Structure 1
Amino acid sequence: MSTNQVESTSKEILGQSKTDHQSSQQTQMQLDVFKIVEDITSYEPHLSVEQLMHLRHMLSVSKSINPEILINHNIIHFLSQFLDHKDQNIIIDALWCLSNITALQKEYAKAVAYSDAFPKIIILVDSSNNYIIDHALLCLANISGYSKELRKLCIEQGVGQKAVLILETHMSPHECIYVNMPKPSGDISSNQKIAQKKNQICPILCQAAFLIRNILINNTKNNTSENDYALLPICKALTQIDLKNENEHEIANYLIEALNYIEACRPNVAQLICDNNLVSKIVQIAEMKLSTSFVAFGVISDIATCDNSLTKQVFQAGVISLIKQLLDETNPVDIGSDPEIQSTFFKRRISVGDIRREVLFITSNICALGNEEVNVILNSGIAQRICDIIFLCQILSKGISDAVWAINNICSDQSCNIEI
């Protein structure tokens, strides 16, 4: 047998061995699940601490475990009992299981939300143990993110206010709890290992921001004041975000989405954002091509609609260079007139029509300010890009009306020497 044949045969044997091992592990996990079901449905139903720890491991590492079997046999009730335990590490294990269950799909999250575990999870958000807070917040964030029904259930229990309070409490300083806190008993977690290497932001902050975002988010923007309790804390938190630290981008994304759904086009909201000197930071987030950069640009657009003084602040925050970049990116001379073409300028794919609409809306408001702003628009080449859109795109395309308004506002400034 040749050397190559030997190597090939060895690889096949090793591959088969690995497959057999994985299959054996899955079979064992299924048997473990059946044993848990047997115990919680026995004459004297019970779930041992050892089984709890094993269940946590299975839910964390295996996608082959179907929690529906356990849920149908009331596993959530047994996990709920552990939430009253004196040992905080056992509470953490139970919360870990529940957070994994709620993360899988809406029906599982709903089962937890309508169980005796739900009020206990809410109470545990007030724990003095940061690990417990972390996992309790994650459970609630998972639950609130699935539907209006579950979101309403969380709102009625004051979950949003609790998350806001945690955001305010932990935002500054926001060292990572996995680095600066004594670790719970057992092996060091993967989160701790990563945190020690990367100096991560406090996970509690990420979970609180994630929960606030899920509480506030809706199918349509909320044009009422019911979410305003979160506005100032979100603004203050955003001012403290260090965008140079990539580990803080996740919380920035959550907070920008939350801010977007508070509706920045309301003058009092826009004014508060400006009073906290946030406009330039939001522009910076839009320029960084994060997952919510386009959302950030939408917030800027909302602020620019309020009144001239706020539009002026948007202009002074350096939005012109971003407008120019976006108009270059979506220039119909280069990419064609189809508004449904997908742009990859931002991290997620967005149609050029949607980008143009936001850009032209801001631009038309800026052009209405006066001579200084109009001259900047003309000198930057933005006016020419707007004309390209008017001439080359269909009359009913997104943003065309704002493009026309922008040119109209430019032409209305009689002090400008206009050549377009």
Structure 2
Amino acid sequence: MTTLEQSRLLATEIPGPRSLELTKRKTTAVSRGIGTTMPVFAQRASGGIVEDVDGNRLIDLGSGIAVTTVGNSSPRVVSAVQDQVAEFTHTCFMVTPYDGYVSVCEQLNRLTPGSGEKRSALFNTGSEAVENAIKIARSYTKKSAIVAFDHGYHGRTNLTMALTAKSMPYKSGFGPFAPEIYRAPLSYPYRDGLIDKEWGTDGELAAKRAINVIDKQIGAGNLAAIIIEPIQGEGGFIVPAEGFLAALLEWCRQNDVVFIADEVQTGFARTGAMFACEHEGIEPDLIVTAKGIAGGLPLSAVTGRAEIMDAPHVGGLGGTYGGNPIACAAALAVMETIEADGLVERAGEIERLMKARLGRLQAEDERIGDVRGRGAMIAVELVKSGTDEPNPELAKELSTAAHAAGVIVLTCGTYGNILRFLPPLTISDELLEEGLDVLALLLADL
């Protein structure tokens, strides 16, 4: 396995000539509906660096949208995948099962919050796992309605588009959507606090607002489940006010409603805990995971209380590729790496470094309205000078300039005004600081 120098290098302008040529090929071969964030094509990646086909080395502050949490081509993952490929690539677990699938489920049952008996089921993508969590909740409760939350993102399939709040680019023109999906207000401390400070800091009060909407518009007697990201991803890395999630969970337990935590983006050490729910001390009925679970291979899971997970009839869950043996081998290596290399603690170190640097920047620049997040999941909310009005134009200009300077950053948010940072947990402090220094200089120039 070749090593990749962990330093930023601009060998050409970005994009370089080979990336430009590949872009022409992409235009004629790939559907226009598949967008790309960066105008470069990757050649190699390791640690905190992505190298493109022109030899440019880019600082990776995106991790493929929180997927390569343990670093790209992590040694244990590479070794495990190579060994499994040599044994067999597929049999379909529903035809002739294999140890790797069972082992991944055992590890998920051990690692996810909750001390009771648990079961897991494996799938391919976050969207697919979310859909199956809904199926399981409906089977268990014999009810049909589902509540999602403002600013939430849960996927791009028909059902998960219905759950997702943001229309463009995820939903616009793709309806009609799955029925019996409803939406409740989220706790968004920064924006809520602009209206009423108490709303911004009192999670229980914000939960009462949401529960009041649920009671009046749906009714607990019709509600199978609520689904929520403990920290919202695409919605803007919104961390609800303390007590919000716990109050919702308590209401669910009192009303025979399944509480589903969508930890697709927050899971597997990303937030400075193995799962973001742990920060609030809550134990969801079902927890959905994907992204960082398998180091870049397609795998997802639903894990939860045994009596809920066992509710569907035999054959009611599954899928040809779900729990593919190669992805399972990778997942076991990822979980081993997180625990053996102390990556939960490393995420906390990244949070302290990033918040300190971005906090200083915020004190100097009134266009930074908020700095928030947990672990290696940090966001900056950009606003127009002297106001709290979202500034998506600045977010776009800043991210585009960062890309040209060799730093991979992502934008998000309902208003498109959020810079989100998802560095791999294996990135060095030096690379992380350099990436933030580049952004600070660019922000000053803009």
TM surpasses 0.5 = no
Bigger radius of gyration: 1
Bigger fraction of residues in helix: 1
Higher RCO by CA contacts (8 Å cutoff, separation 6 or greater): 2
What TM-score do the two structures reach when normalised by structure 2? 0.22
Q: TM-score, normalised by structure 1?
A: 0.23
